[in-house]
Structure 1
Amino acid sequence: MPKVLFLLAVPPPIHGASVMGKYIQDSKVINESYQISYINLNTSTSVEEIGGAGLRKYFRIIGLLFKVFIQLIRLRPHFTYMTPTAGGMGFYKDWPLAMLCKLFSNRFIIHCHNKGVVNFQSNALDDWLYRRFFHKTDVILLAKELFSDVSKYVSKERLYICPNGIPDPEPNLKFKRLGKTEPLKILFLSNLIREKGIFDLLHAIALIKNESIPIHCTIIGGEGDVSKQELLNEVSELNLDKEITYLGKKYGKEKHEIIQASDVFVFPTYYRKECFPLVILEAMAFGLPVITTDEGGIRSIINNRINGLIVDSNAPGKLAIAIKELAENEELRLFLSQSARKDFTQNFTLEKFEENFLNSINRIIKTNYQV
């Protein structure tokens, strides 16, 4: 049985990569396939700490380097698996870890849960670091659309695609979105980050309100670079106090009940690091039609007018048109709802992710290793 060292992020903090890391760590089928040792890559304890510095964080990084070194010596893994940060301070932290792994194991596999290499590669130092980081490295991406981010350093021969997946929260889902719904219940689920399109959504709702279309939007998520007060100030300025409800952070059953009670999920992101948003998969699991943008690997999830709607980013007017269409077209809304649920169960469950993950790893082993 292959010996593997997995360097991955697990919560806290909670973000896409750490959630997927926890799924891998807890997966019975993955753990039965290899002799695995796990090390948590996180040196931040909250979303606010990510990308930051500080003496305490530097000590955590030194401790992480020492822990990885000791484990590599003890385990002597056939290969190592890592979920690195694409650029910036996170990448500088991950780079020496990667060099250690390359030194003490036969081959190195990375699973990219974020993007941004293309934004840093023109810098001479970063370019030098990337060349050594990606040299003789097998790369797993979440979607084929993300290849352009690493194409300068990675050949397609060493490239594998493994979409994310999540547990099915509602395996016996019964559709309740039959007939007219007033007001149309919109859901936005994300931390309050400007680039996730939160203000675009507010302005789109203001445009729809001016056309006297009944609508209500529930916002779930913790504070990010937009504070609760900034959000509420914008809501008041746009005269949307009756149309917007902000609930803050919600988890588990409470969050699922809110998703299930909604009619449409809207996620107008233009976040530069967006890859494969798990919130879209959550919405699809409950059969919500999704309105989103062509960012990162979203095109591998949402097929325009088949299981959702794709709109231009930074375009509240076009977002308003899409929301209005679903408010007025019950037949389209139901079609997208059923298609979203079907695509989720076929392509984006946790079981499907485990299958794709093992297929990718086993193909890498078969192609490159003799264990």
Structure 2
Amino acid sequence: MVLFNAVSQPTHAAVLSKLDVGVAYYEAGAADAHLDEIVRRHDVDIIHSSIWWADKTVDEYRDKLPAQIPWIISMHGCHETFIQHPQIDGTFPERMQRMLTRASAWVYTAEKNLAIFDSYPRPETLLRIPNGMRTEPIGTTLRRADLGLREDALVLCLASRAIASKGWGEAVDLTATLNAQGHKVDLMLIGEGPAADAVRADAPAHVHLMGQVANLQDYLAIADIGLLPSYFVGESLPLVLIEMMAKGLPLIATDIGEIASILGEGDEAAGILVPLEGEGVDRAALERAATRMLDPGVRAAFGAQSHARYDAQFTLERMVNRYETLYSDVGALRWKHPETHREGPG
């Protein structure tokens, strides 16, 4: 297997440390990171891009790649974002038209991803494969005291890119409100970025910045509630919620992207869904959800349902099996290309 990092976001050593030693790793911009050469060097059978900037990289090498190699594009929220914010990348319309001609199959993780096909033709091969996660064993014995957490506090955990629209400010304010009401609540914030820098500068009470970590499951194991008050426009099917469900955490998350389908509803719900308000979070509803979760019985019920939903729908094995079937289906296909495309080796 070959992993090509398009470097659209900062690369963290903690994440890279999780790669299997058998994976050949390249970063865009490096001297040896020419996609066409990598494909031939490793005798790649299928190209699979899963973020717009990776799709764009494949398109940039369109005249140098082997003509018959299949190309699968997985959509996680980038594509429909460009409809609302075309200024992000002015090359998107031209490239998108070309990708629709060339790609062998398209995968979407959330119904909202399909909004792009209100503006562009729907591809012939389009299927949904939800993300999945593996339940990882606890690697270290983390203790609350070692992290500065109060032993008798209710611990909220938000793990995401540290950008404002992931709800970092809202989570900090919620923690302050609950403590002001007399509840012992601590907040773990996991991730790095401008929102983390802003929180660090203010140093609010009972808020603990953990930075980027390689062993997220260890931190989730000492949390009481998983939190994601996101209003990020590109939110699709956030993996972190699935990781939290794998640990049986009750969830509080906003109604954006595919989060409602992750949490479920009624007696099978994994947590409480919080509505958006305007361009942000309904803060009153967020506070009500957290107040409800102060009840240990409520947390226990949601936690049990959270783990049950993970087992039923979001295991890594379930996702891998679906992709294996897709790889098999496209393996015999030629990579679609215009008549003018240069032929290359198979």
User: What range describes the TM-score normalised by the shorter chain of this pair?
Assistant: 0.7 to 0.9
- Paired residues of 1:9 and 1:83 also in contact (CA < 8 A): no
Counterpart of 2:313?
347
Inter-partner Cα distance in structure 2 for 1:310 and 1:260 = 22
Summarize deviations over 1:323-366 as a string: whole Å, max 9, x none.
111113x3332121011111212222222221121123334457
Residue 301 of structure 1: how far off its partner (Å):
1.8
Runs of 5+ unmatched residues, structure 1: 27-37, 44-56, 172-180
Q: State how many pairs are aligned.
A: 310
Inter-partner Cα distance in structure 2 for 1:76 and 1:22 = 20
Structure having the higher helix fraction is: 1
| TM-score, length-scaled by structure 2 | 0.75
- Go from structure 1 to structure 2 and tell me whether the alpha carbon gap of 1:249 and 1:6 turns closer, same or farther (over 3 Å shift): closer
Summarize deviations over 1:285-311 as a string: whole Å, max 9, x none.
110011112233323322245112221
Given the alignment, which residue of 220, 230, 233 partners 1:272? 233
Counterpart of 1:225?
194
Q: CA RMSD in A?
A: 3.6
Given the alignment, which residue of 118, 122, 127 partners 1:160? 127
Identical columns (%): 17
Runs of 5+ unmatched residues, structure 2: 139-150, 336-345
- Paired residues of 2:106 and 2:127 also in contact (CA < 8 A): yes
- Paired residues of 1:7 and 1:83 also in contact (CA < 8 A): no
Residue 132 of structure 1: how far off its partner (Å):
0.7
Inter-partner Cα distance in structure 2 for 1:63 and 1:251 = 27
Counterpart of 1:13?
11
Residue 99 of structure 1: how far off its partner (Å):
5.2
- Paired residues of 2:67 and 2:334 also in contact (CA < 8 A): no
Counterpart of 1:118?
83
The residue identity in structure 2 corresponding to 1:80 is I
- Paired residues of 1:268 and 1:293 also in contact (CA < 8 A): yes
**Is 2:154 aligned against 1:184?**
yes
Given the alignment, which residue of 113, 130, 133 partners 2:99? 133
Inter-partner Cα distance in structure 2 for 1:257 and 1:214 = 22
**Is 2:60 aligned against 1:96?**
yes
Counterpart of 1:174?
none
| TM-score, length-scaled by structure 1 | 0.70
- Paired residues of 1:85 and 1:94 also in contact (CA < 8 A): no
- Paired residues of 1:184 and 1:214 also in contact (CA < 8 A): yes
SS of residue matched to 1:327: coil
Q: What does residue range 209-248 of structure 1 map to in structure 2 within 5 Å?
A: 209-222=179-192, 224-228=193-197, 230-236=198-204, 241=205, 243-248=206-211
- Paired residues of 2:6 and 2:57 also in contact (CA < 8 A): no
SS of residue matched to 2:213: coil
Inter-partner Cα distance in structure 2 for 1:198 and 1:74 = 43
Inter-partner Cα distance in structure 1 for 2:329 and 2:92 = 30
- Go from structure 1 to structure 2 and tell me whether the alpha carbon gap of 1:293 and 1:71 turns closer, same or farther (over 3 Å shift): same
SS of residue matched to 1:332: helix
